[in-house]
Amino acid sequence: MDMDFFTVLVFGVVGAAAQFVDGTLGMGFGITSATLLTVLGYSAVAASAGTHAAKVGTTFVSGISHWHAGNVDKRVLLVIAVPGAVGAFLGAVVLTNIAMDGARIWMALILLLMGVIIIMRFGFGRNLIPPINARTRNLWPVGLIGGFVDATGGGGWGPVATPTLMTITKHEPHRVVGTVNTAEFVVAVAASMGFLVGAGDSGVPWLAVLGLVIGGAIVAPIAARLAHRAPRTLLGVLVGTMVLISNVAIIAKLFKLPGAVAFGLIVVIAVVGVWIAIRAHRRERTGADHTAATEIPADLDDSESHPDSTRVADDRPRTSGAATPR
């Protein structure tokens, strides 16, 4: 088999899997792609630049899919996308000049806390940070910070924007996921421009980028539909679990933990997260079934919902069609 075709095929499968996660949970494509490219020996700049070049294609398709599925809040989209683009451009230029390991450790610790907060909220119904109706115009720092972290880390727009919006607002998970995914197109374009300005093509692996785009574009519409239909608690817990897994992996890499230790931590988090998600989903379904059973069907007529009136009507003398005397 031709190596070029094999490269496109492998990254196509990776792109499809990563986009499925990203499209349903609001995060995962950037971190998955950048991690794989780094493992294969590409520099941090090349890995991040390649990932964002691929995300230009995948987020375009994903954004359109979420838009048609009704998963996008247009006002929030505008407020986080524009600052996100600014942050991504600046982050790309910065990454080509200085190391950001210290900042990534700090941000990873913050995101770990966010993941715990989300799991507690959706998995156990406990709000460590009370949800508020944050004004849309005040959400711009989420975009600015998310874009900067995304460009400097090769991924991070989803792990920053998705859990933050879920924590400080009362938006439904599928609306947060759809809005964040759609805004990511603008962020990816700005980051790509920043890398071109800062370091040219930076040795970007274009065959890998092509595979990521093809695989991601095929799966994006399916993921967008599933995000809209997914149960609220299940989706929320899985998002929190993804945040924990992603940032434990980042911290393990930065602190050079043994691979077996890092893998063991990730497996434990994944298993516990799935278990919590299943329990929360069953509890949600049980509550929904109970609510449905106690509700009065809307199509009942007056005779069914008011038996007394039926009795009165039946007690009236019947005329069998005879004319009423004047």
Please give the residue that has the higher pLDDT: either 208 or 100.
Answer: 208
| Among the ranges given (87-96, 100-109, 160-169), the one the predictor scored with the smallest mean pLDDT | 100-109
Using alpha carbons, select from 77, 10, 67, 13 the residue that is nearest to residue 221.
67
Please give the residue that has the higher pLDDT: either 313 or 253.
Answer: 253
| Residue 158 neighbours by CB distance under 10 Å | 27
Q: What is the pLDDT of residue 103?
A: 58
Amino acid at 140: W
Tokens found for residue 151: 């460009």
Q: What is the pLDDT of residue 98?
A: 67
| Among the ranges given (93-97, 116-120, 146-150, 314-318), the one the predictor scored with the smallest mean pLDDT | 314-318
Mean pLDDT of the region 13-39? 80
- Which of 61-70, 77-86, 304-313 is modeled with the greatest confidence? 77-86
pLDDT bin (cut points 50, 70, 90) of residue 130 is: low
Q: What percent of the chain has pLDDT over 90?
A: 22
Mean pLDDT of the region 107-117? 78
Average pLDDT across the chain, whole number: 79
Using alpha carbons, select from 9, 4, 6 the residue that is nearest to residue 214.
9
Question: What are the phi and psi torsion angles at 201 (to 5°)?
Answer: -85, -10
Query: Secondary structure of the chain in the HEC alphabet?
Result: CCHHHHHHHHHHHHHHHHHHHHHHHCCCHHHHHHHHHHHCCCCHHHHHHHHHHHHHHHHHHHHHHHHHCCCCCHHHHHHHHHHHHHHHHHHHHHHCCCCCHHHHHHHHHHHHHHHHHHHHHHHHCCCCCCCCCCCHHHHHHHHHHHHHHHHHHCCCHHHHHHHHHHHHCCCCHHHHHHHHHHHHHHHHHHHHHHHHHHHCCCCCCHHHHHHHHHHHHHHHHHHHHHHHHCCHHHHHHHHHHHHHHHHHHHHHHHCCCCHHHHHHHHHHHHHHHHHHHHHHHHHHHHHHHHHHHHCCCCCCCHHHHCHHHHHHHHHCCCCCCCCCCC
pTM over 0.75: no
Q: What is the pLDDT of residue 323?
A: 46
pLDDT at 305 over 70: no
Question: What are the phi and psi torsion angles at 203 (to 5°)?
Answer: 65, 35
Q: What is the pLDDT of residue 190?
A: 95
Please give the residue that has the higher pLDDT: either 231 or 276.
Answer: 276
Q: Cα dist. 315→240, 290, 305 in Å?
A: 63, 37, 18
Contact between 16 and 219 under an 8 Å Cβ cutoff? The reply is yes
Measured distance CA(145)–CA(149) in Å, rounded: 6
pLDDT at 108 over 90: no
Question: What are the phi and psi torsion angles at 28 (to 5°)?
Answer: 130, -30
Largest distance between two CA atoms of the chain: 101
pLDDT digits (tens, 9 = 90+) for 229-245: 767 688 778 878 888 88
pLDDT digits (tens, 9 = 90+) for 239-272: 788 888 878 887 888 888 898 898 999 999 999 9
Mean pLDDT of the region 61-72? 89
